Structure 1
Amino acid sequence: MEKIAIVGVGNTKIGEWYENSLRGLTDIAISKALESANIEPKEIESTFIGSMSSGIFNQQEHISALIGPHSGVNAPALRVESACASGSQALRVAMMAIGAGYYDSALVIGVEKMTDLIDIGDVTTALGTASDSLWELGVGATFPALFALMMRAHMHKYGSTLEEFASVAVKNHDNGSLNPDAQFRKKVTMDTVMNSRVIADPIRLFDCSPVSDGAAAVIVTKESLAKKYTDDPVYIAGTGAGTDHIALHQRPDITTMESTKRAVKTAFDMAKIKTKDVDFVEVHDCFTIAEVITLEDIGFCKKGQGGKFSLEGETALNSKISVNPSGGLKAKGHPVGATGIYQVIEVFHQLRNEAGKRQVTNNNIGVTHNIGGSGATCVVNVFSRGD
């Protein structure tokens, strides 16, 4: 199969966009992506949109018809939903469509406008629909509670500490302070994280990613056409997806994510790489425990050592492995359906040496890791330059 290339990207700053709408945010991202690729809207043959819950957040379904035509892209459009992994799944569908020969080029969009729901309880409930609505959300287990169970189990099984988890937040805020598109551009201290209020013990406020608005878009095409649009395309060398039980109680071990392991194996095998070949990675740190588990499941450190690995500085920018140079979901923000595409855009800029003060110096191979729910879904992509 011919390689798939990313030739243009565009996004809004992540934050609280009270003055704008879902369609307004996507207009910004799409126009920037088209300009970046120097491509005309009529050249886009299909559109794929990742969005988790516009029906609840914005009382708007059928966004596949809403977004493309409003932005001047009149290609056939399809919405893809896979909770917080919706954006990455939309990219996979676009890759499959191009790889199968249906299209030569496609627009992939991720968008979520979460602040249209004023009551934070309503936002929590909307997000909770990505868990098991009967056995988790239906009995009051929100995502902070579910990840708190995972964190407590990890502490019990491996002796990990609150200080180790706090180091994840500190590092990601350090990186986010260097990202002009991040929701939070302020560094935090270990004391700030550890002394922040308890949300669901042992999770503190600063262990959590925020409620965010944002839209991100990428233009993808087949390898033979990539140089038509840019001298520096970024190639998708491998992709993989994994699925596990949606409910925690159905998994034999809640200190690991089997979906991540499956997605990593498929993506790395396709790209013909090993964990040691990865130079930097954008992982799904919706809560600090999620980053710790992911570091272990990808194989950057031994099982149970993810927190220590972070505390010792091994995941800092330009250290052993640069983890979340964008600031991650924790500082950059987490507009759920768009998160996967924001991760891809970070890798795109890093591989093209366009990341400014947060530039990774060793930048041959970049990886994105995007989960849905508490890890029931996972998408992993491997990216490389054309040189």
Structure 2
Amino acid sequence: MDLRAWQLQDGLGPWTGLGHRDRLPGRPRPVAPAIAASRSGAGVPGGGRRRAGAEIRSGRSGGRHPLPGAGGARGLGAVPARAMGRRRTARRLRTRRPNADQSVGRSAVLQPGLLHRPDAHRRGRQSDPRLRRRAPVAGGKDRSRARCQRLCHAIQHGRGIRPAFQGDDAMKAPRVGIIGIGQSQFKARRSDANYPELVREAVTLAMGDSGRSLDEIEAVVYSLAPDALLGIGNAERLGVDAVGARNKRFMRINTGGSTGISSLAAAHSHIAAGACELVLVAGADKVGECGDSQTILNKIWDPTYERSLPLGTITMLAMSAIRYMHKYGMTQEDMARIVVKNRAHAALNPNAHLRAPTSIDEVMHSRMIAWPIKLFDACPQSSGGCAMVLASEDYIRRNGLEAVWITGVGHSSESYYIGDRMGIGYSADHADAQALGEACSRAYKMAGVTDPVRQIDTAELYSPFSNTEFHAIEAAGLAPLGQSPRMLREEGCFQIGGRNPVNPSGGVLCANAIAVTAMVRVAEAALQVWGRAGAHQVKGAQRAIASGNGGDHQFFGAMVVEA
């Protein structure tokens, strides 16, 4: 018996439970024998439906007809329906009016499970995604990649490996290693190289460091912050050839100042998910050559409610400094000590932009920009590039390469409007980098770090102004809230040779090519645990954390790197 005959025998037309969606208005309607018999003598035209104790409008004539009693196929009794070879009880639902020929408020009958059956208009696909079966995967490599994806997600969210997988044969977390690092020298101007050449310079250094060729690279993640600084829209197009990305996977990342660390996180995901084995991350910027970077950067603020205050990247962090002073007692001299420390570190780093040592007195007498931030408290406008090569553990082992490992990745974001970040009952405070702290906590959790003071040997923290380094130190768990100024002043904890050296490269206060500034933080952290930092090497460093901040301190990222 075919489907049509089966439906008619059971008293079910092809439209049952579909609200007449299978027919266009005005077409003749087929009437099943059981329904037609129930209507005989009742005075109900073919377009109507019975409803006990009520009147109903005919779908054809628009007239109303009294419906005595509750008899008939559409009465209160359940309509038997056959589904998948079994008889079930139909469910009654109140439906909307999908077509012009159906009365409003009409009672419809649905066959159980009908919505979960294949739809004829969708080529047999299941309408409910929860009921779709996963297609069989051909090849063990693809199945392994799928397992790696699930495991990465579980580990990053603190769930670890399921007990069923524990033991000698337990599936290990996929590791991603850094095998090549390239940095150009950062200067105010690089008139000797245009933008693509600056990118290529960093890429050449990184590829030489890794011992790989561009032909082996499977994907490129391009780090480019506001391209208005270059005066070219979508400037990543210029970089495709510079990074050897023709006919390869290519994506551009932009999260403001945190772009570099966000790009590395994207590359890490490419490899950890099993999509690629060798990924290049690269970028460059010419902030020092744009003419007026502050005018460009200040466009990130809301033009109606914030920009006219005036609110900008400097005034925003000046307000944060004032709040920190009020809450924890930081002084301008404490801010100056950060500058002196970082300049002393930068003097040991040949790639730093500002390498001249300074003193507290010089910082205090530099030009005021936005109280309490002075000229020496602010980062420079730098031009330069950075590139890094990431690879899977399997690739590194097969080729006998040296590497350091990315063991923790964490990110967090904030609301666009600064005032909204404080929340109800001051859940967030401008004196505390709460979102950065969340990003660091997630990276620590993934890396298995429970006591940062003891387990972190050095840190490269994104601190574009002197006061923001105190926020970052505390967010990274290297000091209690409000205590980092005192610890620097009395104990020298964050200098090279101290308990937890912070920014041994000189940090953002001494080099700031925005598109790659956060990438440089990870690169410098990797060089430290690799033992290749040169004159600014922290003795015995085995584990480091790096961070990045972006936008109006809206996007935050953190990465743990280990030898």
The reply to whether TM is greater than 0.5 is: yes
From 51, 59, 62, the counterpart of 2:234: 62
Residues 326-363 of structure 1, C-alpha deviation per residue, up to 9 Å, x if partnerless?
Answer: 000112x1111101111122122211211122110130
The equivalent residue for 1:325 is 504
Give me the whole-angstrom Cα distance separating, in 1, the residues matched to 2:470 and 2:440.
16
Pairwise CA distance, 1:229: 5.6
Residues 1-387 of structure 1 aligned to structure 2 (within 5 Å): 1-15=173-187, 16-54=189-227, 56-74=228-246, 75-118=248-291, 120=292, 123-227=293-397, 231-252=401-422, 253-274=429-450, 275-276=452-453, 277-312=455-490, 313-331=492-510, 333-385=511-563
Q: Is the 8 A contact 1:164 1:311 kept in 2?
A: yes
Give the Cα–Cα distance (whole angstroms) in 1 for the partners of residues 375 and 316 of structure 2: 15
- CA drift of 1:256 comes to 1.1
Give, as a single letter, the amino acid of the residue that structure 1 aligns with 2:395.
L
CA drift of 1:35 comes to: 0.9
Q: CA deviation at 1:289?
A: 1.2
CA-atom RMSD in angstroms: 1.6
Cα drift, residue 247 of structure 1: 3.0
| Secondary structure at the counterpart of residue 172 of structure 1 | helix
Q: Contact 1:110–1:339 (CA<8 Å) still a contact in 2? A: no
Secondary structure of residue in 1 paired with 2:494: coil
One-letter code of the match for 1:265? S
The answer (yes or no) to whether the contact 2:289–2:383 under 8 Å persists in 1 is no
Higher relative contact order (CA 8 A, sep 6+): 1
For residues 276-331 of structure 1, give each alpha carbon's deviation from its aligned partner in whole angstroms, at most 9, with x where no partner exists: 21000001110011101111222211211222222231100020101000000112
Asked if 2 retains the 8 angstrom alpha-carbon contact of 1:33 and 1:218, the reply is yes
Q: 1:229 to 1:172 in 2, by over 3 A?
A: farther
SS state of the match for residue 389, structure 2? Answer: strand
Worse-superposed segment, 58-67 or 335-344: 58-67
5+ unaligned residues in a row in structure 2: which ranges? 1-172, 423-428
The alpha-carbon distance between structure 1 residues 288 and 319, as it changes in their structure 2 partners (threshold 3 A), is same
Identity between Structure 1 and Structure 2 (%): 26
Give the counterpart letter for 1:382 in structure 2.
V
Asked if the contact 1:9/1:36 (under 8 Å) is kept, the reply is yes
Q: What letter matches 1:260 in structure 2?
A: L
Q: Secondary structure of 2:561's partner?
A: strand
Q: 1:137 aligns to what SS in structure 2? A: coil
Q: TM-score if structure 1 supplies the norm length? A: 0.94
- SS in structure 2 of the partner of residue 322 of structure 1: coil
Q: Deviations over 1:100-136 (max 9, x none)?
A: 1111111001322113322x3xx10222234445433
Contact 1:260/1:375 (<8 A) preserved: no
- Measured after TM superposition, the shift of residue 146 of structure 1 is 0.7
TM-score (norm 2): 0.65
TM-aligned CA distance change 1:83 to 1:293, over 3 Å: same
* C-alpha contact 2:224 2:236 (8 A) present in aligned 1: no
Higher helix share: 1
Whose Rg is larger?
2
Secondary structure, counterpart of 1:382 in structure 2: strand
The question of whether the paired residues in 1 share the 8 Å contact of 2:408 and 2:447 is answered with yes
Alignment: residue pair count: 380
Any conservation in 1 of the 2:346–2:504 contact (CA below 8 Å)? yes
Q: 1:226 to 1:130 in 2, by over 3 A?
A: farther
**Could you list the per-position Cα deviations for residues 149-196 of structure 1 after superposition, in whole angstroms to 9, with x for gaps in the alignment?**
000111111111111111111000000000000001111101011111
Report the Cα distance in structure 1 between the residues aligned to 2:254 and 2:457, rounded to whole angstroms.
30
What amino acid is the match of 1:8? G
Name the stretch that deviates more: 251-260 or 27-36. 251-260
**Rounded Cα–Cα distance in structure 1 between residues aligned with 2:481 and 2:197:** 44
